[in-house]
């Protein structure tokens, strides 16, 4: 049963007024970043010595790397004005009354269950989901699936953790991966044993309980040989948080013959800088799919990648970006073909509205020796206003003569004829526009789980209101 | 987040001005300004100042990511001071033997031949040494030379040429004059170890028509030589202009060229860039569409083998509404050749109703060949039709099999498929005579 329905049938009204958890602040690192702060974080999490060393090394890398000058405008991002660690308890001290009316209204119109609204607004712990979560947890435990917070992963499975941690995204990969490596907190640790097929998507949503989604979340996923699973992070509804900076690292290892899909939809507040590194190493005959939706934030820079290192590995990146007024979505994907007969596909759809700017930035690299590698990239951009902006920056680097690589992109505005046709059937211009936009993103939306697709559609409708004239 | 490969990092200063090559110096600029009008001397000196303060590009600069400037062997050449004899050049290779409305030939540092059909001269057509034109027709040269199209600020090499060019060619076609035959310009280098700095300025006045074909050729050298060129093309209102740069330098030559075209209202401005020769070729070509109704077709064809390294950097700049540009670059690579195509369609905020297209196709014919393709779009207007496509692939085995099953040896079959591949570019070239020349040159390359 889908999560939403389950919650609705549980009769949870009684909790309505009990969601505020007053917690005394136990620990709050000082603003800004220093070795001291990193030591405090590590000590607080009671981490082994090697992790502290790792964090400190990453901190030095972070400090030595220059800020990127490409992509979005990071000049307003003040890295010294950030709390790098706040105990989870402290994050929930907000009350429902503090949540902006606009967000509440959106929840209302999206038809999001009351209980979820509190969670999305960051004002309540997910007591309500506990029951659902527990039954799933038993099922997973029976199969040997590990689905824990990253902190618990490190505590309970130290060897497995250490074997894979930071092997996919090492700290020196880029400045923000280094930052995350130094101060990471929160996120998931997932292990799918050999041959196990997990039918119900693993939703970060269920797990993220007391520890709210962190600013510097770190997720490590290992899909062992022949396993299958789908992991879902985030949600289409707007998330309310007072943070203005989010920098996550997601590492996934897809072992031979495994199939893994990672879906993430972000709808961060419009003042958020969202700089995320997501990467998967895909082994022989394995299959990795990223489904990446970016609706919120002020600036997102995120390029999910697949490193196809085993023969016959397949990588797929489906990306939707929506850039409204004042937003810049600098997103795309990277596929790196290292082994023979590897294949990949990137489909990107972006919509720019008002003063929004959507940029596709991607890489297709085929190393010598990746015989018969095939890759296809398709980017379509839709512009809704004359103030909207779109860019396409693909990098195609081919060292292998037997490879076949194609890239295509198109940019267009909504066709007058399409609108005219729909309006002649009695739709308002707004409705017609929303319908064309829905049709435009449909090839990707149909890959989403039903409830996400429904929410996404509703959200597009909301966003299109007032988009005409 | 991404690694540095996805970066568009701005230039970071490294090697500045002096020290690149002592042969390039202020005295040389003064020497080359001798006898020129004062405004031109000032312009050369200003360019020299820009050159001195502009750092050499490094691979940290996005537009030079794949071409290390050390490949150009800038410190291994002297400034060419000598001229030569017209008879020393291979006129056949330079395409100077066929029908032409005008001809210019540079050997070494100087123009050794400049001529224009008498009938055209009578109608005001000018084909002249650029330095001479600057003195005799300042009103036609001063507004255009190194101003809007290729000012020295465009880059290190544009500035170097702006300061030290020699053997320049000026072509002017007056209002309403339509020239049928192409004007041919030949650039010949006789010896290695030197740098030549050719410059071409083409101004087609309102409603005129002209085609200029510039060919670069030399023997094969066993040491480096440098050609650092600039091309400026102005197509005034309603004119129709074709410009072809056919690069077939011999081995050893480093070819660096900055080309800018400016198309005014309702002008048709088509360019073709052919790179077959030289050890290293770096071409920066931008088309700026400045008037509504302007159209620019940008064709490119490259065939690299051995250790050749070609880098194309194109730009389609749409600054006004209702303009059209269409780019098609195709390349084939043998052996250890390495080619780069980086193209940008830039649609500025007011440029509504823009149609802009960009296609780059690469054929890898040897296991060690390597191609990069970076077709970029930056769109700031909404009512546009823009698309781009890029492919890197290999010969279609089925096509080869079909031809071979008809009794054709593999080598011949391959050639046929490669010709078919380039055919798409050649078909769009409105200069039938030149198509044959190019076919023959490609054929030569295939042996």
For A263-277, how does the pLDDT look when each residue is reduced to its tens digit (9 = 90+)?
A: 988 888 888 899 999
Q: Do A302 and B367 touch (CB under 8 A)?
A: no
Q: Do A396 and B6 touch (CB under 8 A)?
A: no
Q: Do B390 and A385 touch (CB under 8 A)?
A: no
- At A24 the pLDDT is 41
- Which residue from B6, B384, B390 is facing A407, i.e. has the nearest CB? B390
Q: What is the pLDDT of residues A83-106, one digit of tens each?
A: 777 655 444 445 666 666 666 666
The answer, yes or no, to whether residue A131 has pLDDT greater than 80, is no
The answer to whether residue A387 neighbours chain B at the CB level (below 8 Å) is: yes
- At A10 the pLDDT is 37
Chain B residues with CB inside 8 Å of A365's CB? 5
Structure-token pair, residue B255: 């070819």
Q: Do A393 and B373 touch (CB under 8 A)?
A: no
The answer to whether residue A468 neighbours chain B at the CB level (below 8 Å) is: no
Chain A residues with CB inside 8 Å of B367's CB? 368, 400-402
The answer, yes or no, to whether residue A330 has pLDDT greater than 90, is yes
Mean pLDDT of B404-421: 90
- At A128 the pLDDT is 38
The answer, yes or no, to whether residue B124 has pLDDT greater than 90, is yes
- Which residue from B7, B352, B375 is facing A70, i.e. has the nearest CB? B7
Question: Which among B387, B386, B403 is positioned nearest to B395, based on CA atoms?
Answer: B403
Most confident range (mean pLDDT) of A201-205, A215-219, A412-416, A465-469 is: A215-219
Mind telling me how many Å the CA of A437 is from chain B's nearest CA? 15
Chain A residues with CB inside 8 Å of B62's CB? 70
Mean pLDDT of B335-349: 95
Q: What is the pLDDT of residues A279-292, one digit of tens each?
A: 999 999 999 999 99
Beta carbons within 10 angstroms of residue B397's beta carbon: 10
Residues 193-252 of A with CB under 8 A from B: none
Q: Based on the number of CB atoms within 10 Å of its own CB, is A25 exposed (0-12), middle (13-18) or buried (19 or more)?
A: exposed
Local structure of B406: helix, strand or coil: coil
The answer, yes or no, to whether residue B249 has pLDDT greater than 70, is yes
CB within 8 A of A34, min separation 6: which ones? Answer: none
- At A434 the pLDDT is 85
Distance CA A282, CA A267 (A): 28
Distance CA A320, CA A331 (A): 9
Give the chain A residue whose CA is nearest to the CA of B393. Answer: A404
Q: Based on the number of CB atoms within 10 Å of its own CB, is A250 exposed (0-12), middle (13-18) or buried (19 or more)?
A: buried
The answer, yes or no, to whether residue A305 has pLDDT greater than 50, is yes
Residues A318 and A288: beta-carbon distance below 8 Å: no
Question: Which among B301, B211, B318, B321 is positioned nearest to B248, based on CA atoms?
Answer: B301
Q: Do A174 and B3 touch (CB under 8 A)?
A: yes
The answer to whether residue A30 neighbours chain B at the CB level (below 8 Å) is: no
What is the CA A227 to chain-centroid distance, rounded? 22
Chain B residues with CB inside 8 Å of A73's CB? none
Distance CA B305, CA B336 (A): 7
Mean pLDDT (chain B) is: 92
What is the pTM (predicted TM-score) of this model?
0.85
Mean pLDDT (chain A) is: 82
- Place B5 in a pLDDT band, splitting at 50, 70 and 90: very low
- At A298 the pLDDT is 93
Mind telling me how many Å the CA of A58 is from chain B's nearest CA? 16
Give the residue numbers in B contacting A (CB under 8 Å), as ranges.
1-10, 62, 349, 352, 362, 364-394
Structure-token pair, residue A171: 């700290």
Question: Which among B196, B192, B202, B242 is positioned nearest to B216, based on CA atoms?
Answer: B196
Give the chain A residue whose CA is nearest to the CA of B342. Answer: A395
Structure-token pair, residue A267: 């709808």
Distance CA B293, CA B324 (A): 7
Distance CA A16, CA A24 (A): 22
- Place A113 in a pLDDT band, splitting at 50, 70 and 90: low
- Place A210 in a pLDDT band, splitting at 50, 70 and 90: very low
Q: Do A410 and B386 touch (CB under 8 A)?
A: yes
Mind telling me how many Å the CA of B427 is from chain A's nearest CA? 23
Residues B188 and B220: beta-carbon distance below 8 Å: no
Distance CA B182, CA A407 (A): 36
Q: Do A390 and B379 touch (CB under 8 A)?
A: yes
Q: Do A411 and B387 touch (CB under 8 A)?
A: yes
Distance CA A400, CA A373 (A): 8
Share of chain A above pLDDT 90, in %: 50
Q: Do B377 and A275 touch (CB under 8 A)?
A: no
Residues 254-293 of A with CB under 8 A from B: 275-277
- Choice among A20-24, A363-367, B360-364, B413-417 with the minimum mean pLDDT: A20-24
- At B165 the pLDDT is 97
Q: Do A177 and B1 touch (CB under 8 A)?
A: yes
The answer, yes or no, to whether residue B369 has pLDDT greater than 80, is yes
- At A14 the pLDDT is 31
- Place A441 in a pLDDT band, splitting at 50, 70 and 90: confident
Mean pLDDT of A394-404: 94
Q: Do A277 and B1 touch (CB under 8 A)?
A: yes
Residue with tokens 């209702």: B322
The answer, yes or no, to whether residue B29 has pLDDT greater than 50, is yes
- At A13 the pLDDT is 32
- Choice among A41-45, A131-135, A385-389, B10-14 with the minimum mean pLDDT: B10-14
- At A132 the pLDDT is 53
Mind telling me how many Å the CA of B300 is from chain A's nearest CA? 18
- At A121 the pLDDT is 55
Residues B351 and B370: beta-carbon distance below 8 Å: no
- Place A68 in a pLDDT band, splitting at 50, 70 and 90: confident
Span between the terminal Cα atoms of chain A, in Å: 42
Mean pLDDT of B304-320: 97
CB pairs under 8 A between A and B: 162
Mean pLDDT of B52-60: 93
Q: So what's the ipTM on this one?
A: 0.80
Mean pLDDT of B229-234: 98
- At A115 the pLDDT is 55
The answer, yes or no, to whether residue A124 has pLDDT greater than 60, is no
Residues B254 and B279: beta-carbon distance below 8 Å: yes
Q: What does the H/E/C string look like for A288-343?
A: EEEEEEECCCCEEEECCEEEECCCCCEEEEEEEEEECCCCEEEEEEEEEECCCCCE
- Which residue from A396, A403, A408 is facing B374, i.e. has the nearest CB? A396
Give the chain A residue whose CA is nearest to the CA of B387. Answer: A410
Local structure of B443: helix, strand or coil: helix
- Place B397 in a pLDDT band, splitting at 50, 70 and 90: confident
């Amino acid at each position: 049963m889908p999560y939403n329905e389950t919650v609705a049938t549980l009769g949870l009204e009684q909790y309505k007024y009990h969601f505020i958890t007053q917690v005394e602040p136990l620990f709050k690192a000082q603003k800004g970043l220093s070795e001291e702060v990193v030591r405090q974080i590590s000590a607080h999490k009671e981490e082994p010595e090697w992790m502290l060393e790792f964090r400190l090394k990453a901190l030095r890398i972070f400090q030595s790397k220059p800020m990127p000058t490409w992509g979005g405008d990071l000049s307003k991002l003040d890295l010294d004005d950030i709390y790098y660690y706040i105990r989870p308890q402290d994050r929930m001290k907000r009350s429902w009354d503090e949540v902006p009316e606009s967000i509440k209204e959106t929840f209302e119109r999206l038809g999001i269950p009351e209980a979820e609204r509190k969670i999305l607004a960051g004002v309540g712990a997910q007591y309500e989901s506990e029951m659902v979560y527990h039954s799933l947890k038993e099922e997973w435990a029976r199969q040997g699936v590990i689905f824990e917070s990253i902190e618990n992963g490190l505590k309970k499975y130290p060897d497995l953790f250490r074997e894979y941690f930071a092997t996919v995204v090492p700290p020196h990969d880029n400045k923000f991966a280094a930052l995350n490596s130094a101060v990471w907190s929160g996120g998931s640790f997932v292990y799918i044993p050999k041959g196990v097929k997990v039918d119900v998507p693993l939703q970060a949503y269920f797990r993220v309980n007391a520890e709210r989604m962190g600013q510097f979340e770190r997720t490590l996923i290992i899909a062992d040989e022949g396993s299958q699973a789908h992991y879902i992070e985030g949600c289409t509804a707007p998330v309310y948080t007072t943070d203005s900076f989010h920098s996550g690292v997601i590492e996934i290892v897809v072992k031979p013959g495994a199939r893994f899909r990672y879906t993430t939809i972000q709808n961060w507040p419009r003042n958020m800088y969202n700089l995320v590194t997501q990467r998967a190493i895909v082994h022989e005959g394995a299959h990795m799919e990223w489904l990446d939706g970016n609706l919120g934030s002020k600036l997102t820079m995120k390029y999910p990648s697949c490193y196809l290192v085993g023969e016959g590995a397949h990588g797929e990146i489906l990306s939707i970006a929506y850039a409204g007024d004042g937003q810049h979505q600098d997103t795309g994907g990277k596929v790196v073909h290292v082994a023979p007969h590897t294949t990949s596909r990137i489909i990107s759809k972006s919509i720019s509205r008002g003063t929004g700017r959507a940029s596709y930035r991607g890489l297709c690299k085929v190393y010598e020796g990746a015989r018969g590698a095939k890759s296809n990239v398709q980017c379509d951009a839709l512009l809704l206003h004359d103030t909207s902006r779109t860019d396409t920056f693909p990098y195609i680097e081919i060292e292998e003569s037997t490879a076949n690589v194609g890239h295509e992109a198109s940019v267009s505005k909504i066709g007058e004829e399409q609108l005219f046709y729909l309006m002649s059937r009695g739709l308002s211009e707004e409705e017609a526009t929303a319908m064309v936009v829905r049709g435009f993103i449909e090839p990707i939306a149909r890959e989403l789980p039903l409830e996400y697709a429904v929410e996404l559609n509703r959200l597009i409708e909301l966003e299109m209101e007032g988009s005409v004239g | 987040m991404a690694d540095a490969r996805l970066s568009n990092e701005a230039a970071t200063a490294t090697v500045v001005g002096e020290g690149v090559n002592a042969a390039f110096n202020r005295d040389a600029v003064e020497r080359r300004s001798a006898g020129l009008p004062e405004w031109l001397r000032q312009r050369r000196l200003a360019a020299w100042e820009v050159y001195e303060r502009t750092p050499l590009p490094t691979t940290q600069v996005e537009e030079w990511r794949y071409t290390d400037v050390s490949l150009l062997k800038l410190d291994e050449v002297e400034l060419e001071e000598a001229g030569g004899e017209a008879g020393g050049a291979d006129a056949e290779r330079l395409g100077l033997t066929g029908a032409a409305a005008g001809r210019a030939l540079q050997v070494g540092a100087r123009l050794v031949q400049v001529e224009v059909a008498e009938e055209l001269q009578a109608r005001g057509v000018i084909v002249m040494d650029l330095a001479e034109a600057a003195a005799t027709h300042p009103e036609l040269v001063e507004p255009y030379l190194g101003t809007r199209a290729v000012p020295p600020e465009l880059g290190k090499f544009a500035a170097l040429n702006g300061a030290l060019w020699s053997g320049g060619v000026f072509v002017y076609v007056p209002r309403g004059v339509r020239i049928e035959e192409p004007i041919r310009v030949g650039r010949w280098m006789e010896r290695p170890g030197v740098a030549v700095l050719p410059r071409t300025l083409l101004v087609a006045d309102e409603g005129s028509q002209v085609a200029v074909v510039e060919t670069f050729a030399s023997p094969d050298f066993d040491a480096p030589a440098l050609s650092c060129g600039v091309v400026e093309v102005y197509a005034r209102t309603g004119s129709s202009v074709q410009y072809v740069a056919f690069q077939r330098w011999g081995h050893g030559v480093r070819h660096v060229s900055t080309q800018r075209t400016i198309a005014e209202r309702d002008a048709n401005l088509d360019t073709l860039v052919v790179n077959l020769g030289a050890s290293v070729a770096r071409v920066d070509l931008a088309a700026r569409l400045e008037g509504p109704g302007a159209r620019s077709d940008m064709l490119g064809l490259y065939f690299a083998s051995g250790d050749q390294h070609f880098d194309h950097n194109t730009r389609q700049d749409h600054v006004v509404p209702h303009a059209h540009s269409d780019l098609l670059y195709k390349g084939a690579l043998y052996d250890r050749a390495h080619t780069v195509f980086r193209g940008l369609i830039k649609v500025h905020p007011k440029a509504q109703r823009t149609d802009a297209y960009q296609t780059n196709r690469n054929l890898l014919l040897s296991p060690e060949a390597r191609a990069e393709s970076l077709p970029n779009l930056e769109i700031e207007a909404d009512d546009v039709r823009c698309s781009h496509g890029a492919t890197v692939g290999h010969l279609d085995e089925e096509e080869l099999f079909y031809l071979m099953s008809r009794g054709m040896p593999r080598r011949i079959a391959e050639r046929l498929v490669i010709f078919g591949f380039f055919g798409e570019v050649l078909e769009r070239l409105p200069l039938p005579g030149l198509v044959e020349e190019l076919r023959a040159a490609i054929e030569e390359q295939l042996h």
